[in-house]
Amino acid sequence: MVVVGAGYTGLWAAYYLRRADPTLRVAVLEQEVAGFGASGRNGGWCSALFPTSWDVLARKSSPARAMRLHRAMQDTSHEIGRVIDDEGIDAQFQRGGTVTLARSPAQLSRLRDDVDMAHARGFTDADQRMLDADEAREMLAADGVLGGSFTPHCATVHPARLVRGLARVVEASGTDIFERTTVRSITPGRVETDAGTVRAEVVLRATEGYTPRLEGHRRAVAPVYSLMVATEPLDDATLAAIGLGDTAGEHRPTFSDGRHLIIYGQRTADGRLAFGGRGAPYHFGSRIRPSYDGEPAVFEDLRAVLRGMLPQLGGEGDGVRFTHQWGGCLGITRDWAASVGLDRQTGIGWAGGYVGDGVATTNLAGRTLADLVTGADSDLVSLPWVNHRSRRWEPEPLRWLGINAGLRATQVADAEESWTGRQSRIARMMAGMTGGH
């Protein structure tokens, strides 16, 4: 078997394949180093969020099968925690749930609608519940909190420690990871790399946002950038004033608020705040460049949004320092549907299109790929995302116009809801999409 891409998807697939059948010969080919992609640089929300909307899943299959997929996602963060423990991966995994704050009346009513909708679908307070203003502030003492919602179905993880640790475990199990090996094309039984041809019965594509670079896949996925900043480690007094867990750093919920544009944060194990959002534009022709990982205006706005949410951080001159900033590309399919599958005729499998919800979903994908390849008749292979095919994106310039118009629509919606000119400017600058990170 050949797996193309050594991010979470490729590594989880290799991990579960070898466990299912230790006689399988598995090679992972990676253009840079294991964890180079989004898996090594994400926000570390190991959540039960799934990128495809409930309505689309339920329409395509049934509400009961949509629920089965969501329950499988809830189980997945437990599975990741189990493997991390069993394999001794030091990924700073801890389960603290997610708190989503409402900081305007519109956000509060949207959160209430979300929770009501979830309950109408069969979820309960044990999955997602409203918080009054005091409860929400107790979890995260942000400015202007009117209420919030909470789900326990999320853990925080150090993303790079997880992916590098997983790579070590996969190698130790007898799988070769060939780094600095770029795959140019995948055809049945054959993978062309810049270093030669590899033949294999089964080839699994796990290239996510970088997929358009593969021959014949230019319009399969749109690479969209998400950017992050991180503070220096906060002192005990500042942490105590902010919340997000106890003094021992346990029970740290990930956090967001109810605006349309995606923002996401976590208090890290070493007491920093790592905080991200969408905002970088989609680049014409699905181009990916290292320089796109850093948009100074977006970094500046992320810092301003976090300082605005949390006055405890102080001002730019005399407050807490931001010490890190970075970004990376994630993959979006034309119908915003993630999928995992194997074409038995060609022996080519794939998984991806997670938008910004891949940390846990990639594990479900890896287990599902292993079952598909080994022919196991498991509950996973009948989940409604299996073998789904998304249609291709439009050719340029339509793709560029469509995606960036979507970004702008989100930005305008937030600007209209925001209370102050400053917030409105931030919302304008940080155009983002709903769903994912």
Ligand X SMILES: Cc1cc2nc3c(=O)[nH]c(=O)nc-3n(C[C@H](O)[C@H](O)[C@H](O)COP(=O)(O)OP(=O)(O)OC[C@H]3O[C@@H](n4cnc5c(N)ncnc54)[C@H](O)[C@@H]3O)c2cc1C
| Among 94, 110, 99, residue whose Cα is nearest residue 134 | 99
First to last CA, the chain: 31
Using CB under 6 A as the binding rule, whether residue 147 contacts ligand X is answered as: no
Inter-residue contact 292 to 329 (CB < 8 Å) = yes
**Pairing between β-strand 263-267 and β-strand 273-278 as defined by DSSP bridges:** antiparallel
What residues from 148 to 187 belong to the interface with ligand X (CB under 6 A)? 182-183
Using CB under 6 A as the binding rule, whether residue 349 contacts ligand X is answered as: no
Closer of 94 and 182 to ligand X (Cβ):
182
3-state secondary structure 165-197: HHHHHHHHCCCEEECCCCEEEEECCEEEECCEE
DSSP three-state, residue 8:
helix
What residues from 210 to 269 belong to the interface with ligand X (CB under 6 A)? 210, 213-214, 226, 228, 264
What residues from 99 to 128 belong to the interface with ligand X (CB under 6 A)? none
Q: How far is the CB of 227 from ligand X (least distance, A)?
A: 6
The DSSP line for 109-177 is HHHHHHHHHHHHTT--TTT-EEE-HHHHHHHB--TT--EEEEES-EEE--HHHHHHHHHHHHHHTT-EE
Closer of 262 and 415 to ligand X (Cβ):
262
Closer of 204 and 415 to ligand X (Cβ):
204
Using CB under 6 A as the binding rule, whether residue 84 contacts ligand X is answered as: no
Closer of 149 and 207 to ligand X (Cβ):
207
Inter-residue contact 15 to 34 (CB < 8 Å) = no
Q: How far is CA 9 from the centre of its chain?
A: 12
What residues from 19 to 58 belong to the interface with ligand X (CB under 6 A)? 29-32, 36-39, 41-45, 47
* Chain position whose Cβ is nearest to ligand X: 358
Binding residue (CB under 6 A) for ligand X from 206, 220, 306, 407? 206
Binding residue (CB under 6 A) for ligand X from 265, 327, 341, 347? 327
Using CB under 6 A as the binding rule, whether residue 74 contacts ligand X is answered as: no
**Residue with token string 């749930």:** 97
Binding mask 266-305 for ligand X (x = CB under 6 A): ----------x-----------------------------
Q: How far is the CB of 132 from ligand X (least distance, A)?
A: 27
**Residue with token string 């959160």:** 111
- Return all residues near 117 (Cβ < 8 A) that are at least 6 apart: none
Binding residue (CB under 6 A) for ligand X from 1, 2, 3, 6? 6
Binding residue (CB under 6 A) for ligand X from 147, 148, 212, 328? 328
| Among 41, 165, 38, 148, residue whose Cα is nearest residue 93 | 165
Using CB under 6 A as the binding rule, whether residue 385 contacts ligand X is answered as: no
**Which residues make up the interface to ligand X (CB under 6 A)?**
4-10, 29-32, 36-39, 41-45, 47, 182-183, 206-210, 213-214, 226, 228, 264, 276, 327-330, 352, 354, 356-360, 362, 437
